[in-house]
Structure 1
Amino acid sequence: MFRSNRTSTIAAVLLCLAVAGCSGALPGESGQADAAAPEVDVADIEANADELERYRVERTRTLRSPRVNETIEIGGTVDTESRRARLSMRTETNVGAGVRTSETEQYVAGDTQYTRDGDGGEWERSEGSWTDTETFGDAVETLEGATFEPIRTETIDGTETTMFRVNVTANRRDKLLGTGDDQHATYRVEDFLYYVFIDTETDTLYGTDLRMEISQGGGGAVLTIETVFTGHNGGFEVSPPDSIELSDDG
């Protein structure tokens, strides 16, 4: 799957690497937050999320260290009503021998996914999970029971949002980091920050920014996952590729 903020993805990378470093910021124009910034109404954000039928998503995941540098960029459209998504992924990896780049396309229909290399070729069908593709609802769920600290304003896709630092609940933090009682992580989280970008006038979530520093076996790593949601209920469609028969859709 293309999803990059799930526990399994984080754990798989961190268990294999001992690395360090950090960079990255969400796109947009920024300014200082008003001292009387509105509070976050999680209930209204959840209600709006329940009515959300379509959105565009852009995600950048970075892993930085002297030994390994990796950037994964994911973008595309998601239709929550029909449970379809069209996504593309670009990966740049450097382990000391130069940058290696790969590109992949994906079409998701429910719990069925079709994947092919970015340079074309045949689509390969496999089983997946719609919940691993539809990331907006999961991001909203992270806000439940949290407290919020306004940081500054940020303009995303022409909309002024407020950037908040989120103090998530302990259980939700464990799920994000893969460090709960049911996990077997062999790394230690040294630092963890989670931010969201919300239009408080319409109670709409526009982005998330997760940053974590870990240590493992004497080494360290910094992982960032930045996500932008735009085009809420836009007038676009998510259609299957021409070479995929509609009767094959899950």
Structure 2
Amino acid sequence: MTTNVVLSRRALATVGVVLSLLLTGCIGAGGILSDESGADGVDEAELRETIESTESYEVEITRTLNSGGVNETATVNGIVDRSDQRAQLTSTSETDVGSGPRISESEQYIIEDTQYTKSGDSWEQTTAPGTWNEVDRLEGALETLEDAEFERIRTETVDGTETTMFAANISDDRENELAGADSSQHVAVSVEDFVYYVLVDTETNTLYGTDLRMDVSQGGEPARVTIETTFTNHNDAGEISLPEDVAEMSETE
């Protein structure tokens, strides 16, 4: 798997991209739970306002992929400073294609659309339009929840805060985009099962997490993908301190 920490929405969610990366380098995705389902309790306007006003947060992403003889777990942890468009991220991935697990780690800093990735004792610098948009997972969740319908599932505690889990019925276009079933794929992706949960503190209308689970098939190859994202320390994230080499590189741009 690539050690690049900036995992784009497509790279995190699209099984076609995930599988190609692998070839080169709590609950399953079953139906929506309904034992505690109830009335819609999400104030969409307030949730949007809270997300848009969040200047910084800490994020943890856990992705799993199970496809044939491939099993992979990847985690990304870091701080996202939206006000200055900076992020500090670390990742760990464990991939097993049948010959035993292979573990890789990476450290990365992002300043606007430029990313600095540690390679040995030095840093590699790359700039690409849209890099920051890929890093800001909170903004990505906001886009996904546009005009969604919500069904209450149960309560869960996240980082000491009681939240409510909702199943989000998102638009077909967005679902296809997240699953990689849009026209951008050379080999068609078939979505067999797709659920998208959100964890919201309904007292403060704060988004604490998303949970995507899907079963898909591409070229006759079935795969199960889960992507759990947790947002904490809204507007109270730790400070991002650039390494000396990264600071010097950013000043010469």
What's the TM-score, normalizing by structure 2? 0.85
1:206–1:69 CA distance, 2 compared to 1 (3 A) = same
Between the aligned partners of 1:15 and 1:188, the Cα distance in structure 2 is 16
Change (3 A) 1:37 1:161: farther
> CA 1:172–1:163 in structure 2 vs 1: closer, same or farther (change >3 Å)?
same
Once the two structures are overlaid, the 10-residue window that deviates more, 172-181 or 129-138, is 172-181
Structure having the higher helix fraction is 2
Q: For 2:91, what is the secondary structure of its paired residue? A: strand
RMSD: 2.3
- Counterpart amino acid of residue 97 in structure 1: S
- Asked if 1:52 corresponds to 2:54, the answer is yes
Please, which runs of 5 or more residues in structure 1 have no aligned partner? 26-31
**Alpha-carbon spacing, 1:105–1:99, altered in 2? closer, same or farther (3 Å):** same
CA contact (8 A) 1:63 1:223 kept: yes
**Of 137, 143, 146, which aligns to 2:145?**
143
Separation of aligned partners in 2, 1:95 and 1:235:
37
Calculate percent identity across the aligned residue pairs.
46
**Deviation for aligned residue 1:239:** 2.3
Does 1:167 find its partner at 2:169? yes
**2:114 paired residue number:** 112
| Contact residue 187 and residue 218 of structure 2 kept, 8 A | no
Residue 8 (structure 1) shift:
4.5
Q: Distance in 2 between matches of 1:126 and 1:15?
A: 22
Residue in structure 1 matched with residue 5 of structure 2 by the alignment: 2
Q: Provide the residue aligned with 2:87 in structure 1.
A: 85
Counterpart-to-counterpart distance in 1, 2:75 and 2:140: 19
Whether the 8 Å CA contact 1:5–1:225 is kept in 2: the answer is no
User: What CA deviation, in whole Å up to 9, does each residue of 1:77-122 have, x standing for no partner?
Assistant: 00000000000010101001111101000000000110014xx511
User: What is the DSSP-based 3-state SS (H/G/I as helix, E as strand, rest coil) of the residue aligned with 1:237?
Assistant: coil
In structure 2, the residue matched to 1:127 is 127
Q: Number of residue pairs matched?
A: 237
Q: C-alpha distance in 2, partners of 1:235/1:180?
A: 35
Secondary structure at the aligned position of 1:244 is classed as: helix
In structure 2, the residue matched to 1:12 is 17
Q: In the TM superposition, what whole-angstrom CA distance separates every residue of 1:27-60 from its partner, at most 9, and x where no partner exists? A: xxxxx85x66661111111111111111000000
Classify 1:248/1:197 alpha carbon distance in 2 versus 1 (closer, same or farther; 3 Å).
Answer: same
Find the aligned partners of 1:51 and 1:218 in 2 and give their Cα distance: 44
CA distance in 1, matches of 2:121, 2:9: 28
Within a 5 Å distance, the mapping from 1:1-250 to structure 2 comes to 1-4=4-7, 6-9=9-12, 10=14, 11-14=16-19, 33=36, 39-117=41-119, 121-128=121-128, 129-234=131-236, 236-246=238-248, 248=250
Change over 3 Å in CA distance of 1:38–1:217 after alignment to 2:
closer
Q: What is the alpha-carbon distance in structure 1 between the residues aligned to residue 59 and residue 27 of structure 2?
A: 17
What is the alpha-carbon distance in structure 1 between the residues aligned to residue 21 and residue 114 of structure 2?
A: 28
Q: Report the Cα distance in structure 2 between the residues aligned to 1:76 and 1:8, rounded to whole angstroms.
A: 18
- The CA deviation at 1:153 is 0.3
* Local SS of the residue matching 1:232: coil
Q: TM-score, normalised by structure 1?
A: 0.86
Are the structure 2 counterparts of residues 213 and 89 from structure 1 closer, same or farther at C-alpha, using a change threshold of 3 Å? same
The structural deviation recorded for 1:241 is: 1.5
In structure 1, give the amino acid aligned to 2:17.
Answer: A
Give the superposition deviation at 1:127. 1.2
State the alpha-carbon separation in 2 of the partners of residues 66 and 183 from structure 1: 20
* SS of 2:41 mapped into structure 1: coil
Shift of 1:65: 3.5
